[in-house]
Amino acid sequence: MNDIQPIALPGVDPRRPLVIAGPCSAETEEQVIETARLLAAEGFRIYRAGLWKPRTKPGGFEGVGAAGIPWLQRVRRETGMYVSTEVATREHVAAALAGGIDLLWIGARTAANPFAMQEIADALRGQDIPVLVKNPVSPDLELWIGAIERIRNAGIRRIGAIHRGFTSIDKSLYRNHPMWAIPIELHRRLPSLPIFCDPSHIGGKRELIAPLSQQAMDLGFGGLIVEAHCSPDCAWSDKAQQVTPEALAYIVRNLTIREQTSTTENLNELRAQIDKLDDELLELLARRMRVSHEIGQYKKEHDMPVLQAQRYEELLARRAAQAVEMGMDREFMRTVMQAIHEESVRQQMQVLGK
C-alpha cells in the first residue's frame, strides 16, 4: 500500500503532529459550539465530535445522529476548523458526505467486523475524503490491516490508523492496554501509513493523556485524536477521559517532538520502543506467574508433584524450535524458558508450603 497519502489539510502545519480534538459526543448545539470556540482560540484546526455513539449496553446516550451535522457545519463557518465524526454504517457515511464533513473515522467495534467495513468501503467508493481506522477491540493486527485494506480498495488514498488500545480481562492502569508492539509492527508493515494515538481511550483517565501522548510522540506517531469538552465533568459520555481545551493546549505545547531523519529512526524512538516492549513483556510474565500459582493450587488439592520432567523437556524443545523459526537462537530461548520455569516452580512451591 505504497500509494497511501498523508492526511494533509490546507492550513494545517505539517511540521507538527496533527491533533484532532473535540468532545466524545455532540450533546447540544451550545456545547458543540462552545467547545469549538475554545479549541479554535487555542490554535486547534480539526474538530471531532461523535454523532452516532455505539454503546456497550442499551439505554446509554447513543448520540444525536444526523441532527448534529448542522452543528458541525456551524463550527466550520464560525471557527474555520475542519470537522470530523465517526461512521459505522452506509447511512452514516451518506449523511456525513451530504453534510460536507471533512474527515471520517471508523471505530474499534466496527473495524472488528469485516462485513461492516465492506459496507462502509462501498459507501465511500469514488469519494476523496480522509478516513482513519481505529484498531479492533481485540489485539489482532491482521484484522486491523484488513479493515484498512478495504478502505484503500474502495479508492480512498488519504488513510490513517488510530491506536486506541485493546481490551483485556486483566486489571491494568489503563482502560485499554496500549500494547505498543502492535502499532509498531503496523508501522513496520505499512511505513507510509500515518498512525494517530487516542490517549483518551487508552488511558480512560484525563491525567493519563499527557504521558500517553508523549509516549506516542516518542514512538514517532503522526498525530493525536483527543477528547476535549468545554465542561468535562458534565459530559454525557466518557467524562473521566475528557479534558478542557485549555488543558489540552497545555499538554500539546509541552510535548517533546523528536527529530526525524529520512534514513533511520531516531535512537530515542528505538529505545522508547524497547522500553514499551519490556513493559509488555513484564506484564505477560506476571500473568504467566499468576497462572502458575493457580496450577500450584490445583496440584496441592489433587496431591500432584510440582515438577513434571517430561512436560518440561517437551516445553523446552518446542519453544526452542519456535524461536529458531522466528530468527532467534535456540540456546537463548532454552535459557529464557529455563529461567521462567524456575520462577514458575517457585510460585507453585509457595502454594504447597502454605
Which of these ranges, 82-91, 259-268, 341-350, has the smallest mean pLDDT?
259-268
Question: Higher model confidence: residue 261 or residue 204?
Answer: 204
Write b or e for each residue in 192-228: b if 16 or more Cβ atoms lie within 10 A of its Cβ, otherwise e. Answer: ebbbbbbbbbbbbebebbbebbbbbbbbbbbbbbbbb
CB 180 within 8 A of CB 219: yes
Question: Which tens digits make up the pLDDT trace of 213-242?
Answer: 999 999 999 999 999 999 999 999 999 999
Positive/negative CA dihedral, 246, 250, 251, 257: positive
Q: What type of residue sits at position 175?
A: R
Q: What type of residue sits at position 157?
A: R
- State the Cα angle at 153 between 150 and 156, rounded to 5°: 95
Question: Which tens digits make up the pLDDT trace of 126-170?
Answer: 999 999 999 999 999 999 999 999 999 999 999 999 999 999 776
Q: Fold match between 18-253 and 267-352?
A: no
User: Which residue is listed with cell 455505539?
Assistant: 54
What CA dihedral angle connects 245, 160, 128 and 124, to 10 degrees? -100
CATH class held by domain 267-352 = mainly alpha
Which CATH number applies to 18-253: 3.40.50.720, 3.10.620.30, 3.90.105.10, 3.20.20.70? 3.20.20.70
Q: Give residue limits of the domains in the chain.
A: 18-253, 267-352
347: Cα separation from own chain's centroid? 34
Q: pTM for the whole thing?
A: 0.76
Q: What type of residue sits at position 260?
A: Q
Question: Which tens digits make up the pLDDT trace of 316-339?
Answer: 889 989 999 988 888 899 899 899
